[in-house]
Each structure stands twice: as structure tokens, then as C-alpha cells.
Chain A
Amino acid sequence: MIFSLAIYGAPFSSQSSDTAYQFACALLEQGHSLHRVFFYHDGVYNGSTLATPPQDERNIPASWSQLAEQHGLDLVICVAAGLRRGMLDATESDRWEKPSHNLEQGFTLSGLGQLIEATMVSDRMITFGN
């Protein structure tokens, strides 16, 4: 079965991303496919490569990045929600003449259309609210 996930909660503030991550691992383990993980609202903070939790604590953005690399996942951050919260890739950083960018490897910025497309092509869309 094809799954997609939508995550609305910021890491370390809401359990949303932790739950979604465990859910993603469980569904992949069962042989299902994960078409896309879409990060929206405060969920965009899950893609910050500058997140620096203590070393003995889980690093949520890094965990998503590693899972994406292992399974070829499409991790999409809503560009409109991301830009206004300071989540920028190199292209947007140049465009807006910002001093740096902070998107974790494996994440991309894209539009809300990606959430709609994910609901269309997936058998199940699961929302993890904040």
C-alpha cells in the first residue's frame, strides 16, 4: 500500500514528528511504500540542519534525513510556510539575498500542490497534527 504523511508540528515542541517518524519506520518495515512526507505549518522546522540538540538526545531532522537516504524518501517542506519561518535552501537564500541557508540534506522546498498530489496518488494520507 502507498502511504503519504503530513506533519504539522515542530520538533521538540510537539510529539507529531516523533510519532510520524516511528510510524514511517513501521510502515516501511512492513513493506509498504512511502510516497512523500509533507511538512507544513510549524512542521517545517523539522528540516533545519542547524538543529543542535544535546548529543545524547535524538536529532529529529537528522533522523528524517537518514531515513530518506536509506529509503529514497521525498521529504517536502512547504515553501510558503518555510520561507516565512526562515527555512531556506541555497536557491531561495540567493533569491532573497540572505546570509545563509539551512535546509537539511534530503529535504526540498516545494508548493502545497505536492500535498494534494500526495493525497491523489497514495492509498492513505495520514496527518500528524501539532
Chain B
Amino acid sequence: MILHTVNRSPFGSDCLQSCLDIATIDSGVILIEDGVYCALANTELTELISTALTRHKIYVLSPDLQARGIADAVAEGIEAVDYAGFVELCTQFDKVVSWY
């Protein structure tokens, strides 16, 4: 099982889409840095994210959400984790693949 990291905003990059195209079922996705914008509720991505959530567990790095002032605007079903949680996820999955 692979944990994918995505660090680019979905509004200026294909990273999230490329990741989701490749990610096998039960892979995890963690949104970091500008990738946290993928976690916003009520955007044009809502359908993509809700479909992805049926196949993957999606996490978002909370310090990066807070730094961007969007901690209260996260789509339902996405779990916020801190750095300690990010490290733990890396140990729970077999490999980590970064999209940037």
C-alpha cells in the first residue's frame, strides 16, 4: 500500500489528478503545502474528491491548512493530521510516493 503526497494547488497543477489516476484502491493520499487547497469544500473539485474518498483515505496536513487560513473549510471525509500524524502514516503505508 502506497501513501501519496501532493504538494501543489489543484487550481494551477495537475498533480492531484495525476496522483488519483495512478493511485490504486486503498492507497492513501496526504495533501501538504499548497496541496492543502485540494481539501477545500465546495469547489469545482468536490466531485473528484468525493469519488476519490470512496477509493482512498485522504489526509491533509493541519499546520499547512492553518498557515493558509482554511482549516475550517475542509471537505467532509478528509482527515487533518499534524507532523507526528504524517510520520505515523508513513510508517503505516509500505512506501511513500511524492507528487510535486
Contacts and interface: CB of A to CB of B under 8 A. Distances in A.
Interface of A: 1, 3, 8, 15-16, 19, 22-23, 25-27, 29-30, 32, 123-130
A40 B98 CA distance: 15
Contacts of B7: 15-16, 19, 128-129
Given A26-B82, A32-B87, 7 more contacts: A15-B7, A16-B33, A23-B83, A30-B87, A124-B96, A128-B7, A129-B98
Best-surrounded residue of B33, B61, B86, B87 (most CB of chain A within 10 A): B87
Interface residues of B, number: 21
Contact of B96 (A8, A19, A22, A126): A126
Nearest to A22: B83
Contact of B86 (A26, A32, A123): A26
Contact of A124 (B32, B34, B84, B90): B90
A25 to B, nearest CB: 7
Interface of B: 5, 7, 32-34, 61, 63-64, 82-84, 86-88, 90-91, 95-96, 98-100
What secondary structure prevails in chain A residues at the interface with B? Answer: mixed
28 contacts: A1-B91, A15-B7, A15-B34, A15-B64, A16-B100, A19-B7, A19-B32, A19-B61, A19-B64, A22-B63, A22-B83, A23-B83, A23-B86, A25-B83, A26-B82, A26-B83, A26-B86, A26-B87, A27-B87, A30-B84, A32-B91, A127-B96, A127-B98, A128-B98, A129-B98, A129-B99, A129-B100, A130-B100
A46 to B, nearest CB: 16
A26 B84 CA distance: 5
B63 to A, nearest CB: 7
